[in-house]
Amino acid sequence: MSDSDRLDPPVKLRLPDIAGMRARHQPIVMVTAYDAPSARLADQAGVDMILVGDSAGTTVLVGTSTVPVSMDEMLVFTRAVSRSPTRALVVADMPFGSYQPSEDLAVANAIRLVKEAGADAVKLEGAGRTITRISGIVEAGIPVMGHIGLTPQSATLLGGYRAQGRTADAAERLVREAVALERAGCFAIVLEAMPALVAERITGAVTVPTIGIGAGAACSGQVLVWHDLLGLSPGGVPRFVKQYADIGAAIAHALRAYAEDVRTGAFPEAQHTYGMPDAERQKLEERSAGPKPTAR
Ligand code: KIV
């Protein structure tokens, strides 16, 4: 192999790379993942950031909300994801209850996600009281991504899973929240489910990248949930999702074919089984054909 044939190993992205992408108007690509094979595929596809979302509560743990997701569960998902990527930045969601009670708890749990599970950064939902938690975590040396608009952990308080910022007052509040998140030290901010115009205003009001989900095209990047994007969400997807594949149907088709083959004896075939050296097989056959041991 000549030097020119050798591929350079991918270089791990750092925060200045993400900031530089916004500065160059180069769209940032983020997707969620909850396990190592998915993270490897996302990384190989050139995704810039992988979010270990607490959406795991609905996608993987098949609950109806992200609220019950625990720190222990997030640690397992994050560990699985962070073992794979070589280039993508891994951001771990801080689950509900892991940062609200106090700044100390927020810092301790953020440290666990980085130190025990290998995350590069953490994500917290909301502004308000979350701001002090974010500054505490940033002061501890951990990069933080903010998240405003529809924040699923407080969906009940927000009146359900519905778009936010649809009045002038609510839109201005979101802009103020984004500015406060930037001041608190966030390196990027997720904008979820809000009018495109509001996301555009927010993106113009801050210098850090905005990552949209249901927030239009003016954001610095986009994020989608793995299961929604790939057709693995059985109950349908929100209107802002574009589904790029129907992997669920492909998996169901493959599993039905496998079950059919097992039931009809079509699987396994000779090429799926192990043989024995001829001499050993002969020995075994002679032994089975020989006299049976007498019972005492
Ligand atoms: O948990 C998650 O997947 C998220 C994204 C929807 C941004 O927070």
| pLDDT score of 128 more than 90 | yes
Q: Which is more confident, 271 or 62?
A: 271
Residue 57's pLDDT is what?
A: 94
Q: Which atom of ligand 1 is nearest to the CA of 225?
A: 3
What mean pLDDT is predicted for residues 106-121?
Answer: 98
Please give the Cα distance from 145 to 138 (Å, whole number): 10
Give the mean pLDDT of 247-269: 97
| Domain presence at residue 137 | yes
Pocket test for ligand 1, best of 32, 147, 229 (most atoms within 8 A of CB): 32
| Cβ-based neighbours of 128, under 8 Å, separated by 6 or more | 177
Active-site residue, 139 included: no
pLDDT at 176: 98
Q: Could you tell me the end-to-end alpha-carbon distance of the chain, in angstroms, rounded to an integer?
A: 69
Task: Tell me which residue has its CA closest to atom 2 in ligand 1.
Answer: 53
Distance (Å, whole) CA 288 – CA 266: 28
Which residue has its alpha carbon closest to ligand 1 atom 6? 225
Query: The domain spanning residue 159 has which CATH number?
Result: 3.20.20.60
Q: Say what the pLDDT of residue 10 is.
A: 81
Q: Ligand 1: distance of its center to the CA of 152 in Å?
A: 8
In a domain, 217, yes or no: yes
In this predicted structure, the answer to whether residue 296 has a pLDDT above a threshold of 60 is no
Give a yes or no: residue 294 inside a domain: no
Per annotation, catalytic residue among 177, 192, 285, 286: 192
What DSSP letter does each residue of 251-284 carry, written as one string? HHHHHHHHHHHHHHT-SS-GGGS----HHHHHHH
Residue nearest ligand 1's atom 4 by CA: 53
Q: In whole angstroms, what is the distance from residue 261 CA to residue 43 CA? A: 34
State the DSSP string of 22-76.
Answer: HHTT--EEEEE--SHHHHHHHHHTT-SEEEE-TTHHHHTS--S-STT--HHHHHH
Task: Compute the average pLDDT of residues 163-178.
Answer: 97
DSSP symbol at 189? E
Note whether 48 and 89 are within 8 A (CB): yes
Nearest to 41 by CA among 89, 79, 84: 84
In the chain, how many domains are there? 1
- What residues flank ligand 1, with Cβ below 6 Å? 32, 51, 53-55, 93, 147, 190, 192, 213, 223, 225
Q: Is 282 part of a structural domain of the chain?
A: no
> If you measure from the C-alpha of residue 169 to the centroid of ligand 1, how many angstroms do you get, rounded to a whole number?
25
Candidate from 11-20, 30-39, 54-63, 71-80 with smallest mean pLDDT: 54-63
Task: Determine contact, residues 87/58, Cβ cutoff 8 Å.
Answer: no
Burial 243-254 (b: 16+ CB within 10 A, else e): eeeeeeeeeeee
Three-state DSSP state, 93:
strand
**φ, ψ for residue 91, nearest 5 deg:** -110, 125
Residue 208 lies in a domain: yes
Contacts of 140 (CB under 8 A, 6+ apart): 107, 110, 111
Let me know if residue 69 belongs to a domain: yes
Mean pLDDT of 108-130: 97
Q: How far is the CA of 93 from the centre of ligand 1 (A)?
A: 8
The reported pLDDT for the residue numbered 271 is: 94
- Name the phi and psi angles at 34, rounded to 5: -130, 0
Confidence of residue 7 (pLDDT cuts 50, 70, 90): low
> Does residue 258 lie within any of the structural domains?
no
Q: What is the dihedral of CA 10, 16, 20, 22, to 10 degrees?
A: 110
Any domain includes 41:
yes
What does the pLDDT read at residue 289? 85
Per-residue model confidence (pLDDT) at position 63: 85
Convert the pLDDT of each residue in 203-239 to its tens digit. Answer: 999 999 999 999 999 999 999 999 999 999 988 899 9
CA-nearest residue for atom 8, ligand 1, is 53
| CA 203–ligand 1 middle distance (angstroms) | 19
Please report the atom of ligand 1 found closest to the CA of residue 54. Answer: 1
The DSSP symbol for 148 reads E
Among 29, 38, 50, 51, residue to substitute to test ligand 1 (most atoms within 8 Å of Cβ): 51
- Provide the residue range defining the domain that includes 246: 8-250
